[in-house]
Structure 1
Amino acid sequence: MKLTAKAMTAVAAASGLVIGMSGQAAASTSVVMTAYYGGYVAGTGYFNADPSGSIPGDAIRACDTRADGVGIEVRMDIQPSGAWHTDRIASTRGHKSSYCSPWKSGNITEETTVALKICAVKGTWEDCSPVVYGKA
């Protein structure tokens, strides 16, 4: 099966993973991505730009919501400059669903652009969404 991507506001790809995005009114932009695999919601990925209660800022998290044998990863490229470079990964690999990874955080300079993608993973196989952008 193929993972495809589509943003809530516009189609990001015609391949199979759907990404829903939500942003904040401030200059920083948080992102929520929903992965569809085989026609079902497989998982969700999060980028939280600013701290909120117990949720850290500049943090990513992956949640696997379907027992389909496929894990979910959220990957971040901080200050993207062309070719993808993974700076941070949140993964559900090795865990049974329903499972959410811990928040993976680290300080990022305010207003820095971050590139994000959500991937379905199993062993050495992976299928990732097109890139979406947030702002720290």
Structure 2
Amino acid sequence: MNSDRKLRAVLTVVAGSVLALGTATSASAATQIPADGAGYAYWQADPSGSTPGDALRVCDTKADGYAVRAVLTTYSGGSYREVNTSGHAAGYCTAWKTGDLPEGTKLVITTHYGSGGNWISADMAFVTA
């Protein structure tokens, strides 16, 4: 009986530690949204180190002549922010575009690639502020 209590106590501590580690890891990592092989958008809901919260950036990773764009909108289509790599060579990432959003706001990020203002939809992700 005594060993049962010790085992439960140890398992409780281990489970709590795993949960804490999992929470810390997911909260500090930016969400990556692909742009059909042309690059990526990154969403950071909460501040982490030098990365601001409610922040969006995009990176062009392929030297194909296309820029990469990401658009952050509400579920109802209201636009919050847009970033793109137009005018920059591949290997470029934009600065974080940020601004406080109401906590819990449900958002959609769409990625695109293109040139000359002609954008092709690539991917999308549902995120929360």
Per the shorter chain, which TM-score range? Answer: 0.7 to 0.9
Output the amino acid matched with 1:31.
Answer: T
Inter-CA distance 117–61: structure 2 relative to 1 (3 Å threshold): same
Q: Counterparts of 1:86 and 1:70 in 2: how far apart (Å)?
A: 23
Give the root-mean-square deviation of aligned CA atoms: 1.9
Output the amino acid matched with 1:117.
Answer: T
The TM-score with structure 1 as length reference comes to 0.69
Aligned length: 104
Gaps of 5+ in 1: 1-23
Superposed CA deviations along residues 79-134 of structure 1, whole A, max 9, x for unmatched, are 321xx343201111111111000000000011111111001020031111354210
1:33 maps onto 2:45 in alignment: no
Structure-2 residue corresponding to 1:121? 114
Output the amino acid matched with 1:86.
Answer: S
> Where do 4+ consecutive residues of structure 1 move more than 3 Å?
none
Output the amino acid matched with 2:35.
Answer: A
Structure-1 residue corresponding to 2:58? 62
Gaps of 5+ in 2: 1-24
| Contact 2:33 2:123 (8 Å CA) reproduced | no
Q: Counterparts of 1:25 and 1:99 in 2: how far apart (Å)?
A: 25
| Contact 1:75 1:118 (8 Å CA) reproduced | yes
1:44 maps onto 2:40 in alignment: yes
Structure-2 residue corresponding to 1:72? 68
Bigger proportion of residues as helix: 2
Identity of aligned residues (%): 35
